[in-house]
Structure 1
Amino acid sequence: MIGSSAKHPVFSGDISATRVTKSPSSESLAIFIVDKSVVDKHFLNTPNRWSPEQVFCEKEECNEVTNGIYLTPEELNELSKVDLSNISKGLSHI
């Protein structure tokens, strides 16, 4: 979503911006570190910074196979200060 003509596939209302793939990636989450101007352009007044990065379709049914989260460098820096050790212990049964 960095290009000047890029549109958010959900919040823009432009379904043509959806990234349909014929061969889905094995990754289910992508974290993008972007300039604040990108965040402001695509996510201002939205409830979150999520975006479907890949959509896989079979016949008439489509599902997200890779999602993206967009952060600024400052937000990433703040996250690096958070202690996630208790969270990972809670996920050990998965």
Structure 2
Amino acid sequence: MSGGGGLAAAPVLVAPDDFKGTFTAREVASALVRGLRGGGLDADELPVADGGDGTLDALVQARGGELRKAVVADALGRPVEAAWALLADGRTAVVEAAQASGLW
């Protein structure tokens, strides 16, 4: 935004992590961007993660691909359903180790 010779507002990059137990990083980013755009600002979203919950979602959004689920053996050999992602290149798979080992 600029007015009367003022400076144009710089675009805003919203890059949140999840709000543990409440909102995913994608949900937080979308809500913040909607608010910023509603106020007339140019905003883009890029959800991030710290390697734990939400990492697969953030990678799929950033690199493309799809989320999948598989039944694997946890650290004690029990069957557990765990999420994983196949990225858009069709060659890169990402496993959420906490789920696969039964820690979540």
TM-score (norm 2): 0.28
Compare relative contact order (CA 8 Å, sep 6+) and give the higher one, 1 or 2.
1
